[in-house]
Amino acid sequence: MAGFFQRLFRIGSAEANSLADRLENPVKMTEQGIRELEKHFQESVTSLAELKAQVNRQRADLEKATTEAKDWEARAMALLSRGQTGQIDAAQVDNLARQALARKAEAEKRAVIAKGVIDQLSGTVVRVQAKVDKLNTQIDLYKNELKTLKARSSAAKATTKLDKQLAGADPSGTIAMLERMREKVEDQEALALAYSDLADRPMSLDDEIQRVLADDPIAKQLPPGAGSLKEDDELAALKVKLGLK
């Protein structure tokens, strides 16, 4: 039992992960220990009840012996009183009175013995009662400790299971997919930025001339690129050709 208590207190101070790895199952050990304590508790309660029953019997014997002693004394006194009247022979009275007093002495002796047993058993009852109460308190304490151990053991098992699951997972595939997705998004963002730059770019001279001449019938007859001449003399020639001033 002493070894059990040592293991019990050692288990109470262990870490959750170490609980899951122990060769001895701490929860089962504690449950077995508590069952043993409860068995001892029931045996102690039975012994205590027997002690109290003995005390009660001795008290009954004490009361009976005390009553008998008083009764025999009363009889002896009655005999002596009758002897004074002369109705009974004095020698016979004395003989009967002596026998009554002898019975009184026997009863008193039994009363003394019963009183001694009561005193002794009463002290034992007090000590045993204190031990039984202490054992009951310890059992309650260990039951609460067992609840804590079960909770810690469950947490340790859950943590171990999760760690194994995480250790067995291969994140490389997911990381590769995320990398490809990141590159694709960056390409899309770059393309969108390029279109935005094109939309915001100032119109070139060639584009502006094409826009001005877009609705001119004569300009539509010009060959491609004709509207992009920049020299002043060619511009003047075109104005003359078109009859413009």
Condensed to tens digits (0 to 9), the pLDDT of residues 4-25 reads 545 544 555 455 445 455 535 7
pTM (whole model) above 0.85: no
Q: Which architecture characterizes domain 2-169 according to CATH?
A: Orthogonal Bundle (1.10)
CA pair distance 117, 62, nearest whole angstrom: 10
pLDDT in tens, 133-186: 999 999 999 899 888 878 887 888 888 878 777 766 556 667 777 788 888 878
* Annotated domain spans of the chain: 2-169, 174-241
**Distance between CA atoms of 70 and 36, rounded to whole angstroms?**
51
Say if residue 69 is exposed, middle or buried (CB neighbours under 10 Å; 0-12, 13-18, 19+). buried
